[in-house]
Amino acid sequence: MTPNEPEFKALMMASLEGDATAHRALLQRLSQRLRAYYKGRLARIERSATEAEDLVQEALIAIHVQRHTYDPAEPLTPWVHAIARYKLIDHLRRTRASMADVPLEDAGQVLAQDDYVSAESAYDLHRLLKQLPEKMRRTIQYVKLDGLSVAEAASRCGMSESAVKVNVHRGLKALVALIALEKRP
Amino acid sequence: MKTDHLIAMLSMNVEPVYRRQVIRTLSAAVAVGAVVAVGIMLFTLGVRMDLKEPGVFSFLASKLIFTLGIVIATSIYLIKLARPSIEQSAPAALATFPFVAIMGLAAISLSSAPISHWNRLIVGNQWLECLISIPVIAIVPFAVIIWALRKTAPTDLVRTGAIAGLFAGGVSATAYALHCIDDSLPFVAVWYGGTIVLCAFFGAKLGPRLLRW
């Protein structure tokens, strides 16, 4: 258990209630910890550290899209750790590296050190978005990039509000799938 | 893409999350899978005709306790497996318990019968029908539970696939038990147990492909 667990968990609980500020703060703090984790893991198996930022972003999208799978009765750290580790193993498998070298580590390690730089991945969001089906692309553009409310986006797209929400969620999951496809050697 | 931009995008218009979504989705899949399995059995095979005869009901009940034990244990286990987690070995014992129990009872039943009867007790009348029906009926419940699990985030895909297969086999065997007239415990242990384990094997093979996220 890390000393930040109570703080992170409080942010997560607020984020699950729909608090955007808490959600943003949580993702920001987790991104620093994830970056340190992936840099450490990749260095240990002699992989390039430039892949670390790709993984940080994949893990952040996964944490966002899968946040409904967090059980508030449990601590947050092991949940984040399990996602981070799953994404690392999946990445190594897709890029055909041996994953026998990924040791089971203590859950505390994922959130162990701090390492902040304003970092950038190899992914081009706009190019990825263009590959999405029209409905998903437009709803993500309106709701997640232009900052329109769900109601405004619904009237612009001629959809119901729940259809907009569904398309945003599916679109983000589809982005993850597109990123995975790009990794095929 | 800058990580800060991604975070800004993900934090725009954050929707509240329904916390019981995992349990609700999986419960719905369990219910739909069970109804469909029983429906397929009713339309293709039909319920056994001798239900009113003495003793039949207790034989049927013992089979149903075995198969429903598997369904309940795997359902509970799947709710755990559906959430990202590092260690999840504890409920595995729960899922193997019905198998251990039926093997024990089958062994007792065989040991108290003369060896000349063993063949009849194990092979029964309709072993081939059982061998084919349980995996075939399991296909739809398996598809439904996989559909539900794809809305969650399992991190051990082989194990989750295997337990999904075990669940589908258990649901299918429960439906098939309402039709089947072979009542000996060794028959149930070998043919029910074997085909359900076969479903788990296919589930484990398919899991990593179907459940990736």
Pair (A33, A90) in one structural domain = yes
What is the torsion angle, in degrees rounded to the nearest 10, for the CA atoms of residue B49, residue B174, residue B134 and residue B41?
Answer: 50
Structure-model confidence comparison of residues A47 and A153, the more confident one: A153
**How many Å apart are CA B29 and CA B12, to the nearest integer?**
32
Residue among B67, B70, B74 nearest B159 (CA): B74
Is a pLDDT exceeding 90 seen at residue A10?
yes
B133 touches chain A (CB under 8 A): no
Asked if residue A177 and residue A88 are part of one domain, the reply reads: no
Q: pLDDT per residue over A84-106, tens digit each?
A: 999 999 998 888 755 555 555 65
pLDDT tens figures, A79-89: 999 999 999 99
* Residue B104 reports pLDDT greater than 60: yes
Domain that holds residue A68: 5-110
The CA distance from B189 to the nearest CA of chain A, in Å, is 36
Is B208 at the interface with chain A, CB within 8 A? Answer: no
Last residue of a domain, one of A76, A110, A144: A110
* One domain, residues A16 and A87: yes
Q: Is the predicted pLDDT of residue A131 greater than 60, yes or no?
A: yes
Q: Is A133 left (phi over 0), alpha (psi -120 to 50) or beta?
A: beta
Chain centroid, CA A3 distance in Å: 22
Is B183 a residue whose pLDDT tops 90? no
Q: pLDDT band at residue A46, thresholds of 50, 70 and 90?
A: confident
> Which residues in chain A are closer than 8 Å to B207, comparing Cβ atoms?
none
Q: Does A9 touch chain B (CB under 8 A)?
A: no
B197: confidence class by pLDDT, cuts 50, 70, 90: very high
Co-location of A95 and A15 in the same domain: yes
Q: Tokens standing for B17?
A: 């999350």
Residue A12: φ, ψ to 5°: -65, -45
Q: Are residues A68 and A153 in the same domain?
A: no
Report the residue of A86, A162, A166 to disrupt the B interface, i.e. the one with the largest count of B CBs within 10 Å: A86
A106 close to B (CB below 8 A):
no
Q: Is residue A116 part of a domain?
A: no
Which has more pLDDT, B178 or B118?
B178
Query: Which residue of B155, B158, B159, B160 to mutate against A (max A Cβ within 10 Å)?
Result: B155
A141 and A105 both lie in a single domain: no
**Same-domain check for residues A99 and A164:** no
* Average pLDDT of the residues in B177-201: 91
In chain B, the percentage of residues whose pLDDT exceeds 70 is 98
Where in chain B are the domains? 20-210
Alpha helices, H only, B82-156: 92-111, 115-123, 127-149
- The Cα B84–Cα A102 span in angstroms is 17
CB pair distance less than 8 Å for B10 and A165: no
> Would you call A16 and B19 a contact, using CB atoms and an 8 Å cutoff?
yes
Q: How confident is the prediction for chain B on average, in pLDDT?
A: 91
* Contact call for A120 and B3, based on CB within 8 A: yes
**In this predicted model, what pLDDT tens digit does every residue of B32-87 receive, in sequence order?**
999 999 999 999 998 888 877 777 888 889 899 999 999 999 999 999 999 998 87
Count of domains observed in chain A: 2
Bridge partner residues of A120 (DSSP) = B2
Mutate to test the interface with A, among B4, B7, B156 (most CBs of A within 10 A): B7
In the 8-state DSSP scheme, what is residue A69?
Answer: G
Could you say which of A66, A81, A110 is where a domain stops?
A110
Question: What distance lies between CA B91 and its chain's CA centroid?
Answer: 15
Percentage of the residues of chain A whose pLDDT score is greater than 90: 54
Whether residues A83 and A145 share a domain: the answer is no
CA distance B149 to B168: 13
Looking at the structure, do residues A176 and A104 belong to the same domain, yes or no? no
The two structure tokens encoding residue A17: 């209630």
Quick check: is A119 in a domain? Answer: no
- C-beta of residue B7 within 8 angstroms of C-beta of residue A26: no
The verdict on B3 touching A (C-beta cutoff 8 Å) is: yes
A86 and A134 within one domain: no
Average pLDDT rounded to a whole number, residues A20-43: 92
Alpha-helix runs per DSSP H in chain A: 5-16, 20-44, 50-65, 76-94, 107-110, 125-130, 134-139, 150-157, 161-182
Would residue A137 count as lying in a domain?
yes
**The pLDDT of residue B11:** 92
| Model pLDDT, residue A182 | 79
Residues B75 and B97: beta-carbon distance below 8 Å: no
B17/A66 CB distance under 8 A: no
Q: Does residue A120 belong to any structural domain of this protein?
A: no
> Of the given ranges (A176-180, B106-110, B136-140, B166-170), which has the lowest mean pLDDT?
A176-180
The CATH number linked to A168 is: 1.10.10.10
| A63 domain residue, yes or no | yes
Tell me the CATH number at A57: 1.10.1740
Of A78, A110, A142, the residue at which a domain comes to its end is A110
Q: Are residues A48 and A85 in the same domain?
A: yes
Residues A104, A169: one domain? no
Size of interface A-B (CB pairs under 8 A): 117
